[in-house]
Structure 1
Amino acid sequence: MTNLFELYVKLVGLVLLGFILGRKLPSTVPSVVGHFLFYLGVPISIVSFLYQADLSGQIWIAPAIAYLAILLGALLAWLAIKGQTYVTNTMPQQPTQGSLLLAAMVGNTGYLGFPITLAMVGQQYFAWALFYDLLGTVFGAYGLGVALAARFGNNINNHQHITKAILINPALWSFAFGLLLRQVKIPHLVAFYMDKLAWIALTLSLVLIGMRLSQLKSWRSLPQVGISLAIKMILVPLILGSTLGWFGITGSAAKVIVLQMAMPPAFATLVLAETFNLDRDLAVTALAAGAFILLITLPFWLWLF
Structure 2
Amino acid sequence: MINILLIFIYLFIGLVLQRVKWFPTDSYKLLNKIVIYICLPALALYFIPKIHWNNQLLFPIGVAWITFGFSFVFFRFLGKKYKWSKKLTGCLIITSGLGNTSFLGFPIIQALYGADGMKTAILVDQPGTFVVLSTLGILVATLYSKGEQSSGQIVKKIMFFPPFITFLFACFMNVFGYDFLEWIQFIFQKTGSAVTPLALVSVGLQLRFESRSQHWKFLGLGLLYKLLLTPALIYFLYVIVLGQHSKMIDVSIMEAAMAPMITGSILAATHGLKPRLSSMMIGYGIPISFISLVFWYFILQWF
Q: What is the rounded CA distance, in whole Å, between the counterparts of 2:265 and 2:13 in structure 1? A: 24
Matched, 1:124 2:119: no
Quote how far apart the aligned CAs of 1:169 are: 4.9
Structure 1 segments unaligned to the other structure (5+ residues): 1-6, 86-90
* 2:202 equivalent to 1:212: yes
Q: Which residue of 2 aligns with 1:256?
A: 251
3-state SS, counterpart of residue 144 of structure 1: helix
Superimposed CA distance per residue, residues 166-204 of structure 1 (whole angstroms, 9 cap, x where no aligned partner): 565546655665676699xx9xxx79xx89x96x77875
Correspondence for 1:141 among 125, 133, 143? 133
How far does residue 61 in structure 1 lie from its aligned partner after superposition? 3.2
Residue 259 of structure 2 contacts residue 286 of structure 2 at CA under 8 Å; is this kept in 1?
A: yes
Q: Is this contact kept in 2: 1:125–1:253, CA < 8 A?
A: yes
Following superposition, the deviation at residue 146 of structure 1 comes to: 3.5
CA displacement 1:25-69 (0-9 Å, x = unmatched): 8858956974664354x357627xx85x88666113333333221
Give the superposition deviation at 1:224: 1.4
Contact 2:265 2:278 in 1 (8 A): yes
TM-aligned CA deviation for residue 229 of structure 1: 1.4
State the partner residue of 2:226.
232
Give the Å deviation of 1:231: 0.8
CA shift for structure 1 position 285: 1.7
Superposition pairs of residues 105-120 of structure 1, within 5 angstroms? 105-120=97-112
Q: CA RMSD in A?
A: 3.8
User: Aligned pairs, how many?
Assistant: 280
Residue in 1 aligned with 2:69? 71
Write the distance in 2 (CA, Å) between the matches of 1:112 and 1:105: 16
The question of whether the paired residues in 1 share the 8 Å contact of 2:68 and 2:93 is answered with no
User: Is residue 103–residue 229 contact of structure 1 (8 Å, CA) maintained in 2?
Assistant: no
TM-score (norm 1): 0.72
**What is the CA–CA distance in structure 1 between the aligned matches of 2:236 and 2:267, rounded to whole Å?**
32
Equivalent residues in 2 for 1:1-305 (5 A)? 7=1, 10-12=3-5, 14-22=6-14, 23=16, 27=27, 30=31, 34=35, 37-40=39-42, 42-43=43-44, 46=47, 58-81=56-79, 85=82, 91-157=83-149, 159=154, 160-165=156-161, 169-170=165-166, 173-174=169-170, 177=173, 205-219=195-209, 220=213, 221-245=215-239, 246-247=241-242, 249-266=244-261, 267-275=263-271, 277-305=272-300
Distance 1:140 1:44 in 2: 16
Quick check: 1:134–1:171 contact (8 Å CA) kept in 2? no
The Cα shift of 1:228 comes to 1.4
Unaligned runs of 5+ in 2: 18-22
User: 1:251: how far off?
Assistant: 2.5
Cα distance in 2 between the residues matched to 1:132 and 1:166: 21
Asked if 2 retains the 8 angstrom alpha-carbon contact of 1:18 and 1:210, the reply is yes
**Structure 1: how far apart are the matches of 2:228 and 2:52?**
29
CA distance in 2, matches of 1:126, 1:179: 22
Contact 1:229 1:290 in 2 (8 A): yes
- Residues 283/32 of structure 1: CA separation in 2 closer, same or farther (3 Å cut): closer
CA contact (8 A) 1:69 1:105 kept: yes
Shift of residue 254 of structure 1? 1.2
Normalising by the residue count of structure 2, what TM-score does the alignment of the two structures yield?
A: 0.72
The amino acid of 1:163's aligned partner reads M
Q: CA deviation at 1:227?
A: 0.5
CA distance, structure 2, for counterparts of residue 103 and residue 31 of structure 1:
15
- Cα gap change, 1:19/1:65 in structure 2, threshold over 3 Å: closer, same or farther? closer
